[in-house]
Every structure is written in structure tokens, then in C-alpha cells.
Structure 1
Amino acid sequence: MEFEPLTECRFIEKVKERDKVGVWGFGNVSRDVVLTLVTEGLGKEIIFYGRPKEGYPNRAGAWIEDLKANTVRRPRMMGTNKIEDMAGLDVIFIGVGVPRKKGQSRRDLLQMNARVIGETSLEIRRLYEGCSATDIPLLIYMGNPVTVMTWVGYKTTGFPKKNVMGQAGNLDSRRICHAISQELGLSGTDMRGIVFGEHGDSMVASPRYFSVGGVPLDVLARAEGMDPKRIEDVIENAKKGGTHFVNETGQSASAGPARAACDMLRCMIRGEPEVQPVIAIIEKEYGLLKKDDGLDSMSFGVPAKIGPEGVEKIYEIPVEDISEQMERSASIIKEDTKIASELLKEKFGI
């Protein structure tokens, strides 16, 4: 049998993957992120960096060796106390910052964590200076108040805005989904939702942007004969889930935040874009930044397409029914952003 020779080389387009993953910071959330990545088979190489501490020079190294000893299937893993080992990565989860304690709000940590995250972001900037756009890693921040800290990371690294994002929306929407599913007597596994704005008291969440089994929540609630006010009360209470955890345990949550962060990481590592609630850098989106704000950008929780290219698209969906709440949330974020901006100028000259 004769075959006609090909006149040109044919390729099957390969899905872009970002499988060299860094986890920066030795806190509880970071350790849970590493564990989740390993157990779910995410990433071919994981580098875990922990800053040296007096008497404990390489905590991340010891932690990784113990994990290796107790993991059958694992990627290449290294725990290190050397910043230079964090070069050449595709995506970095940044879990540094002082956690909340009982009686503290996320905003109470603003100035302290702006310094910590500013310093970390400068170290990342130095590591990747001179790299081409394709070699700059994607960054996911998770230090409180994470909405503004994401902007601090963006300004300090100087990375493209699509490369910088924060995790809070998945965590917040899941807490709300769980609370509503409990109210409805459902498992909640088929429930999805989107939240907007700040990861904090001014977070914007409406039944309109949640669904159960593909059915809009407000429609399902009416079919169940539930008072709409009851659903709103459940949502408002669930928005305080992080504060409730701190008050009950004396420390910040780690398992839930790590799980939520890994949902974002999965989209990037496997090259499978999804629409998720993300803290993204915005400029003109939703008309929240005004000329007299004195800011050229801000961070804000929005629905976005995230994948191997980072924040690939921000969706501007109809928000007329929550526009006042979004403006209120934006005003709080802008106020905190200006405080952080002054600190960056004073401490880092940025």
C-alpha cells in the first residue's frame, strides 16, 4: 500500500501546562497546599521554601523529607531555605504574612502584612528580573487582608496584571454554599457561586449568583417555599465563617484555604481554564475606579477565567442589583490600598 508523503509537518496542539510549582512560606496554609498538591497529583515538581529560623535552619526541608517517607506516589519535591531555589518556576503560591488572632479583623493586619508581602514580592522580583514574559511565573497571594495584599504584590513585583491574583473567592463561596446546602437539606456538592469585592465584612454575595444543580438559588428557594430573607440571613452569617473559625480555635483556618487555592492551581498546572471567583487587578472593569481616587489600579473579587495564562479574562456581568454594595466594598478596598501605597513608597520607594 502506498501513502502520499506529507508536504508539511503536522502537530497536535499541546495543552500548555505549568507544572513546576513553588510554595513560599512555612505557615499552616502553605503546608496544607503542598500536601494537597501531592495527594491530588498536581505538578511534576514542587519546591517548598521556608525562611530560616533561629535554631531551625531548614524547616521546609525536614517537612518535605517526612512527607516523602510517607507518600507512595509523589512528584519531584524539595524543601529549601534558599531563595535562589525558587527561580525557574511556573507558578508560585505565596502564603506569607501574620495570621489573624481572636479579636482581630483582617484589616488590623494591613500595615504589618504589607511590609511582609512587600519584602517577599521584592525577592520574587529580583529572582525573575530580566526574564522574558513567558518565563515570569503566575503568583497567587493569600495573606490578609488578601484583597489589598494582592495589589501590594502586583505593584511590588511589577509583573503583568494577568500574572498576579489572590485567593479568597473560592473559599468564601464554598462556605456560603455549605451553609445554604445545610439549610436546604442537600449535600452541596452540586452547588456553585460567585462572590465579589473584599475578602472581609464588605464582601458582596447575592442568591442571584449561586446555583444548585444548575438551578438558580433564588428560583430553587421559591420552589422550596423559603423566605428570601432567610436565604439572605444564611449568606450573611456564612460570610463571617473565617471570623467564626478564629474565635472558636484561636487561629486562622488552613485546610479550607489550601483546598481553595489548589482549585486555582489546578487550572494553571493542568492547563484547564475555569471560571472562578478570583481577586484580580482591575482598572476600568465595573467602573469602580474613579478619576479622583488617585489610583491607577486596585484589586477586587470578580468572576474570571483562570488558566495557564493566569487571569485570562475578567467577566463583567450584570450587577445592577448589587451595585451599591460593590461600590461600598470598593471604597473600603481603595481606602486600604492608599494606606498600603504610602507604606510601599516609604519603605521600598515604590
Structure 2
Amino acid sequence: MQKIAIVGAGRVGEAAAQFIAQNDMAREIAMLDVREGAAEGCALDIQETAPLFKFDTRLSGSTDPAILRDAGIIVVTAGIPRKPGMSRSDVLDTNVRIIDEIVDNIMRYAPDAILLFVSNPVDVLTWRAWKRSGLPRERVIGQAGVLDSSRMAAFVALETGLCSCDINAMVLGGHGDSMVPMLRYTTINGIPVDKFLDAQALERIVTRTRGGGAEVLALRKNSSAYDAPGAAVAQMVEAIVTDRKRVLPSVAILQGEYSYPDGAMGVPCVLGKNGLERIVELDLNASETAMFKHSMESVLADIARLH
């Protein structure tokens, strides 16, 4: 891809830019931030790692939204972060105003881009951006499940002592306390995870996965997570740039899938050059269906606040 843009030069945006540049996913990365010098400084800092990591991507930064012009993918990380004790929904009122302005600038300068949202609450803001932009749902997706699934897989590795590379986890639902960790679809080299861990250990993993971001925030106190979210963004971008047709849990606009005619939810998606290429509908048992419904109702309640 010729150009990828990142809106928000905070820690998540910076981490994502570093991973994307380091893996030569685009010839150019453009960073946008409202803070004077923030995007420029971030871009320059990453650019100076190019000789060490042997990449040739060119980075630039600006406060002028015109820098988004002609970007093929735009990653949106801008917004106020959570503070300890805050939920993702607590930042909705402020962040929706920020997202509205960003979407308007995108439609002015890069109306053909694929949009990837990271800003919280990501499910609600992905839906809002889709509505405001008028873009097809294939080009407006959110990052949540890749991060949550990575966290769950990491916790399985820590509990079992087994190699992280062999662990595949799946997390559906909203990106918050009501997310749906799918133990039935979590495996270690194809073997169901419950062959390695008892019910108590699995419950610890589920609880820790749901609070994964809050745990990092509570430990750091002055910063939420950014390395893992940045890596998750890069994995989704890589799937689109290389047209790999990867199955990755992503926030998608539902139009009948999982029995919901509207809304945005983390579900398994096939990602390729067109963005969202297909939603994979899993057969959920009664317990999973109840958790999915609870998660969806939480997202829909936040969406209703926007009307």
C-alpha cells in the first residue's frame, strides 16, 4: 500500500505506527494530531529507527487534516483515554464529538479509505463513524477482538506454561466487561484448552481477559495499554494490505448476522484488500448466546445515547 494514516499520535498510535513501519506495510505513514508537534515528533522518532530495523517507510506528521489525503487505510486512535476506575463507556460523550470531526475530515480528504477504529468505546464509535460517513460497512471496522484474543491466549500460556505460539483464542462481543471469551473455540495446537486446564483455571482466565485493559491501567496508573493494542492494529492492517483473507475477530456492523439487524459487535471476520470481506457466524450454545446478548445490549444502550 502506498499510504496509511494514523489519527492520534498518543501511545497507541505511536506503537501502531512503529509496528506498521517496521514491517514495511506501506511506503508512507502520515500521522495526525491536534497537539502542536506531537505527530511530527512521533513520526521523526520512529523514522530514526529505520536504519536499525531496516525498513524504508517514510513517516510524516501534522496538525493539518489534509495530511490524510489519498490514504488507503486510516487508523483512528484519537480520543481521551480512560483513567483508573473509568469504564470505556465513561469516555463516550467526549470521544463521539472527536470522532465526528475526524470522520468529516476523512470524507473530505480520503473518502476511498478503509477506516479502522481503536478509540473507546470502539464498538459504539465504529457504528457512529459508519452512520456519519455513509460508507459501506465493509470499509468501517473496529479493533477489539484481536487484542482481547491475544490477551486471552497470553493468559492461557501463563497458566499452562506452554508455548504462546501454539495457542489460538477467540473473544467475541463488546470490547469491555461484557466481552465473550469463547473457551470452546480456544485451542492449543488444535487441542481444546479444557484438556489442559480445569474449570477454576479457565474461569480465572475469563475474568482476567475481561479486565485485561483495566489491569494494565491499574498497574501503570498514568497510562493505559498501548503495546498490545498497537500490535493488534498492525495485525489487522497487515491482513488488509496483503489481502491474506485472515479470520480475525473484529468490530463489524451487523446487518442480520447473529440475529441482530443493526449495531456493532466483535465477531469473527475475514479481512482482505476490501476491508471486511465476510462475517463468520458461529453456532453459539445457550450460555454463549446469553453472554453475546448481554454484550450486545450494552453496546446498543450506548448507541441509543447518541440519538
Q: TM-score, normalised by structure 1?
A: 0.83
Q: Which amino acid aligns with 1:202?
A: S
Residue 45 in structure 1 maps to residue 28 in structure 2 = yes
For residue 91 of structure 2, what is the aligned residue in structure 1? 109
For residue 57 of structure 2, what is the aligned residue in structure 1? 75
For residue 58 of structure 1, what is the aligned residue in structure 2? 37
The answer (yes or no) to whether the contact 1:19–1:269 under 8 Å persists in 2 is: no
Distance 1:70 1:204, change over 3 A: closer
For residue 318 of structure 1, what is the aligned residue in structure 2? 283
Paired residue secondary structure (2:85): coil
Paired residue secondary structure (1:189): helix
- TM-fit CA distance, 1:69: 3.2
Distance 1:67 1:179 in 2: 30
Q: Which of 257, 279, 290 does residue 229 from structure 2 map onto?
A: 257
For residue 4 of structure 1, what is the aligned residue in structure 2? none
Residue 89 in structure 1 maps to residue 71 in structure 2 = yes
Paired residue secondary structure (2:97): helix
Distance 1:70 1:319 in 2: 45
- TM-fit CA distance, 1:76: 2.5
The answer (yes or no) to whether the contact 2:159–2:201 under 8 Å persists in 1 is: no
Per-residue CA deviations over 1:162-209 (Å, capped at 9, x if unaligned) read 000000101111111111111111121111122111100110112101
Distance 1:66 1:234, change over 3 A: closer
For residue 348 of structure 1, what is the aligned residue in structure 2? none
Q: Which of 285, 301, 304 does residue 335 from structure 1 map onto?
A: 301
For residue 203 of structure 1, what is the aligned residue in structure 2? 179
The answer (yes or no) to whether the contact 1:125–1:156 under 8 Å persists in 2 is: no
For residue 3 of structure 1, what is the aligned residue in structure 2? none
For residue 260 of structure 2, what is the aligned residue in structure 1? 288
Distance 1:330 1:66 in 2: 40
For residue 170 of structure 2, what is the aligned residue in structure 1? 194
Aligned residues: 302
Distance 1:146 1:183, change over 3 A: same
Paired residue secondary structure (2:152): helix
Residue 166 in structure 1 maps to residue 142 in structure 2 = yes
- TM-fit CA distance, 1:257: 0.3
Per-residue CA deviations over 1:16-57 (Å, capped at 9, x if unaligned) read xx4421111121110111111122222122111122x3xxx3
1:163-312 equivalences under 5 Å are: 163-218=139-194, 220-221=195-196, 226-250=197-221, 251-289=223-261, 297-312=262-277
Paired residue secondary structure (1:319): coil
Q: Which structure is larger by alpha-carbon Rg, 1 or 2?
A: 1
Which stretch shifts more, 76-85 or 61-70?
61-70
Paired residue secondary structure (2:172): coil
- TM-fit CA distance, 1:63: 2.8
The answer (yes or no) to whether the contact 2:6–2:29 under 8 Å persists in 1 is: yes
Distance 2:103 2:159 in 1: 42
The answer (yes or no) to whether the contact 2:169–2:182 under 8 Å persists in 1 is: no
The answer (yes or no) to whether the contact 2:178–2:210 under 8 Å persists in 1 is: no
For residue 294 of structure 1, what is the aligned residue in structure 2? none
The answer (yes or no) to whether the contact 1:175–1:241 under 8 Å persists in 2 is: yes
For residue 133 of structure 1, what is the aligned residue in structure 2? none
The answer (yes or no) to whether the contact 2:118–2:144 under 8 Å persists in 1 is: yes
Q: TM-score, normalised by structure 2?
A: 0.94
For residue 11 of structure 1, what is the aligned residue in structure 2? none
The answer (yes or no) to whether the contact 1:198–1:301 under 8 Å persists in 2 is: yes
Q: Which of 134, 156, 175 does residue 132 from structure 2 map onto?
A: 156
The answer (yes or no) to whether the contact 1:175–1:239 under 8 Å persists in 2 is: no
- TM-fit CA distance, 1:61: 2.0
1:120-131 equivalences under 5 Å are: 120-128=102-110
- TM-fit CA distance, 1:230: 2.7
Percent identity of paired positions between Structure 1 and Structure 2? 29
The answer (yes or no) to whether the contact 1:97–1:113 under 8 Å persists in 2 is: yes
The answer (yes or no) to whether the contact 2:251–2:267 under 8 Å persists in 1 is: yes
Structure 1 unaligned blocks of 5 or more: 1-17, 130-135, 290-296, 343-350
- TM-fit CA distance, 1:59: 2.6
- TM-fit CA distance, 1:282: 0.5
Q: Which amino acid aligns with 1:74?
A: D
Paired residue secondary structure (1:238): helix
The answer (yes or no) to whether the contact 2:30–2:59 under 8 Å persists in 1 is: yes
Paired residue secondary structure (1:89): coil
